[in-house]
Structure 1
């Protein structure tokens, strides 16, 4: 009952009969609003009003015994200041007006030096969920209010490197695992790792320049490649020469998942300048990969997997073509021969429906690959061919010219360079013969 009596005796804002102060809120454009208030409530809750209502501050006495205190607001909207004044009358200030509303009230409370109201707004902002627009508004507003309010920015501050490394390594393990994580977690880990390591308007979240971190990344990649080798070996060990049928969907799905993971790993490792481990492995197993894919994915129903293999091969051969990874001549020659043949057989399948459709559904989805991937693979093959000895080039070009699929890859550039080099070889290297005679 005593609490009820106290509440009943508490003054109310706007009570003309009991108010002794008029607060006049004014905007830069001259718009104003008058509020009938109580000097005791204002002085107790606001240092601004405590100063303005003290005997040391000259005031203008109007409306009988009431004092008028003018408050000049920088914002055109007066409602946050009105709300802040109303909260001075509340037993416990409530700031649950949404993030934007609480920010406005916090600005008004900071302007009027109302610590209880400001604290209530800060507590709300720290605990409320934000969307992207809220975050941008908070970043524009909070730093202008003073360091005492920067605790609101805690969730937006840069994180220490140690936990970042731990999170990214854990995410990398999920991203390269085959069965342990749910597919949603695996996809999220791959997507976010790629985003965090991308150089855009912001710097990458973490540079893998620590030897321990790089070593753990290599271990994860090695485990993935080992699983892939084991799986392709099991396919090749199956009895029979014929490709697996369409009914063996589980094998085809597992193969597609593993190749997709390797393709994703190539994207990440290229950002980290760590492609060598994949390049050396992929070149070493190229023949087995092609044989396993041809066996498991004999029809166009598995074209997605074949195109993923093309993606990986394009990235691997590109790393060799640019000189980032140095391999012996025989390995480069063998890789080019293998992947020219695979690309030659795969390219004509592009554009067919994803699944064989007995009803002849013209709306069946068709599978394709980004034209840039085909172009990068072709460019890499041409560049690598031109690094080979002349006789090796001749063998590759002869096979290419005799093929019915000579349209892809287009080795015309390599053919032209080979013709020029071959014709001019004796003249250009004549100094060697002269040097040999002299010696």
Structure 2
């Protein structure tokens, strides 16, 4: 008897069907219908593969016919059957080698009452998915329903989810419940969860909820990011208004903290509670910049940061050179870099006087703070807290150059003179701005004279 491929699981034992037969005296007796029991079986199921595998399963016609359309058709009087030893019916089932075990498991499941009381038969998503394919192919509605119910209810790993997406859509309406969690969500639901997450992400929850808040911020940014797929949310005016209101509330809280520190003692920034609160606000504002940039509504943020810059720098300069205070300075530079980028590349247009003022406030602060951060990063055990991406420093330097080169030449000369006279001229390196200024200044008279000559010639005509 060739049944090596059949693995009896503990779920199957004790749940086989029974059949009734008469003994020699004509008395009815119940006997168990056990798959593989040649003495009671009346159907031989032969599983065959293209690779030449040929295994036999001894089965019972009433069980196969009742639960499987394929066997019901093959064992009906309208279908010619092949007679073998002791007049057993023989039914061939062709399958691929990789699906062989799933066919064996399905035939075994035909012997089990597949209902809500036996939910532990599937042994994982992949096994259930394989059985489901065979059940659909052979027409086993009970098993299809049970597989669908199982797959719809359990969690999936990413690889399993990809496999489901390849297989299930071809199965039609009967398998649709499995795909319910993968269907696109309507825009209204997306907006609702976005707004709720946004309000939480700009709030000030207890410290033990900071990880939840950071996660919410990450997912909000992801929802608005265009990568291989389009953004999950297309922001309309209402969404933008909600974002502005949430950021304004965050600004208001930050401003209260800033005012308290500005009006306090010179050591007010060194207080542990003040440090943590101020750092939290700066971190949130840095994140808010990312959201506002994606929605192209950075202007109000830039204007606010410009108005508060003098006060922010004075507060930061009050603090001692402890690691915590230096980290706060770093967070302030992160926000400033995003504000300056919006100004330097024309995302937000400011008058000349304001652009020059923002340089005069932040250029000296960044110039002095970076060596301090570098020194602490090299010597401090908490160096990772102060690590700023090298690309950020490079981008900030390029932004300074862009803002300088957009100023009138006289203002450029003022900024460059101060840079050349400063001991911290290594960063930011304004050499590019100096070179462009020299070139422009040298050719300015010639260019203007050519323009004047051209204008004169035009007027003569």
Q: 1:112 to 1:158 in 2, by over 3 A?
A: same
Q: 1:317 to 1:79 in 2, by over 3 A?
A: same
Q: 1:408 to 1:362 in 2, by over 3 A?
A: closer
* Paired residue total: 428
* Number of the residue aligned with 1:358: none
Alpha-carbon distance, 1:299 to partner: 3.9
Counterpart among 189, 197, 202 of residue 171 in structure 1: 197
Give the structure-2-normalised TM-score.
Answer: 0.87
Q: How does 1:330-345 map to 2 (within 5 A)?
A: 330-345=353-368
Q: Do structure 1's residue 227 and structure 2's residue 249 form an aligned pair?
A: no
Q: Do structure 1's residue 194 and structure 2's residue 221 form an aligned pair?
A: yes
Counterpart among 247, 268, 274 of residue 291 in structure 2: 268
* Number of the residue aligned with 2:163: 137
Counterpart among 45, 48, 63 of residue 67 in structure 2: 45
* Number of the residue aligned with 1:346: 369
Deviations 1:347-405 (A, max 9, x none): 111233469xxxxx875536331111111111111111111122211211111111100
Contact 2:49 2:95 in 1 (8 A): yes
Counterpart among 416, 435, 444 of residue 416 in structure 1: 435
Alpha-carbon distance, 1:282 to partner: 1.0
Contact 2:401 2:433 in 1 (8 A): yes
Contact 1:235 1:296 in 2 (8 A): no
Paired with 2:427 and 2:62, the residues of 1 have a C-alpha distance of 88
Give the structure-1-normalised TM-score.
Answer: 0.91
Task: Structure 1 unaligned segments of length 5 or more: list them.
Answer: 356-360
Deviations 1:198-234 (A, max 9, x none): 22222221121x1111110110111111111111111
* Number of the residue aligned with 2:396: 377
Secondary structure (helix, strand or coil) at the match of 1:352 reads helix
Contact 1:175 1:189 in 2 (8 A): yes
Alpha-carbon distance, 1:281 to partner: 1.2
Deviations 1:286-316 (A, max 9, x none): 1111112222455444222211111111111
Q: 1:75 to 1:168 in 2, by over 3 A?
A: farther
Paired with 1:15 and 1:166, the residues of 2 have a C-alpha distance of 60
* Number of the residue aligned with 1:389: 408
Alpha-carbon distance, 1:5 to partner: 11
* Number of the residue aligned with 1:365: 383
Task: Structure 2 unaligned segments of length 5 or more: list them.
Answer: 1-14, 20-29
Superposition CA RMSD, Å: 2.5
Paired with 1:297 and 1:222, the residues of 2 have a C-alpha distance of 30
Q: 1:101 to 1:427 in 2, by over 3 A?
A: same
Q: Do structure 1's residue 203 and structure 2's residue 226 form an aligned pair?
A: no
Q: 1:132 to 1:226 in 2, by over 3 A?
A: same
Q: 1:200 to 1:134 in 2, by over 3 A?
A: same
